[in-house]
Structure 1
Amino acid sequence: MTRIDFHTNVPDKIAYACRLLRKAYNASSSSNASSSSGAKNRIVVMTEDGAQLAALDAALWSFSDVDFLPHVHANDPLAPDTPIVLADSDSVELPPADLLVNLARRAPVQFESFPRLIEVVSTDEDDAAAGRIRFVAYKRQDFQPTHLSVGKS
């Protein structure tokens, strides 16, 4: 069953996603072990739309002078071999991965094919309301989502 974690009260989803991806990528790089699912420690990020995907893509290239986070769009031919895959649509085929990070206001259709899902919810009222709806929906499906408040309340 997919482990679901909500990271809420996030002031800036793009900046937070960059830090979260750096942490997850560094943790997976240091382990050098493939998962049992064949996901090879891959991380998939689902964005709200093309604009958010473009903003995240640009931020991943520039957020740190010392860290490089290899990433491609899900429709890129290199996606099956790249550690971080970015998507903005549930209709694209996603490669196997150990972690799905959701920046969108909707639950990813394919979330149950991932061992772990992190839902990133901002301080924006509409985003927070959508996050609460997803939290309740996951509980109704017998998942046990956990909650971490990132920003100050």
Structure 2
Amino acid sequence: MAPRVQFYHNAENPLALACELASKAYASGRKVALRAPDAALARQLDQLLWSFEQQAFVPHVMAGTPLATETAVVIGHAESPTEWPHTEILFNLADDVPPGYERFRMIVEIVGPSEAHKQPARARWMHYKQKDLPLQAFDAIRREAL
């Protein structure tokens, strides 16, 4: 089955939005892969997941660690090929189309407000559209469909 693709446009803080959406997915029993553009932002995601919401605990580890297959939320980055242990939801914060995206049930693309974020997002949208994947766009600020 082909993945569904959702784009969240104009995210003022893409990392915070990724943490919020990953927390909600985890709370509903889903397994999540978070893909950052680089190792530094992957570490930021890791730190943010520990502290972004006072009452929530989101168990997470970095991809490639021994506990990755047993942990609901796994963080990786585009600079290093990642073998994701789960294939339910992939949150992509990187500028490229994630390798192996076809294995996931859902891809969530989080796009910042700057033109530097929008240009690569347009290319990803066109890639998914050419593959005839179901696409849906949301405004990240208002949290409504576009």
Same-fold call, TM cutoff 0.5: yes
**1:79 lines up with 2:79 in the alignment:** no
Aligned-residue Cα RMSD (Å) equals 1.2
1:145, distance to aligned residue in structure 2 (A):
1.2
d(CA) in 2 for partners of 1:116 and 1:131? 16
Q: Which contiguous aligned blocks of 4+ residues in structure 1 show a shift greater than 6 angstroms?
A: none
State the one-letter code of the partner of 1:46: R
- Superposition pairs of residues 1-153 of structure 1, within 5 angstroms: 1-28=2-29, 41-89=30-78, 91-151=81-141
User: Sequence identity, in percent?
Assistant: 32
- TM-score by structure 2 length? 0.91
State the distance in 1 between where 2:134 and 2:50 align: 34
Shift of 1:125: 1.1
Give, as a single letter, the amino acid of the residue that structure 1 aligns with 2:19: C
Q: Give the aligned residue type for 2:139.
A: S
- Map Cα deviations across residues 82-133 of structure 1 (whole Å, 9 max, x no partner): 0000001361211123111101111101110001110101102111111111
Q: Distance in 2 between matches of 1:19 and 1:53?
A: 15
Gaps of 5+ in 1: 29-40
Q: 1:151 and 1:63 mapped to 2: Cα distance? A: 18
Normalising by structure 1, we get a TM-score of 0.87
Native 8 Å contact 2:35 2:75 kept in 1: yes
SS in 1 for 2:111: strand
2:121 alignment partner AA: G
**Contact persistence 2:36–2:77 (CA under 8 A):** yes
Runs of 5+ unmatched residues, structure 2: none
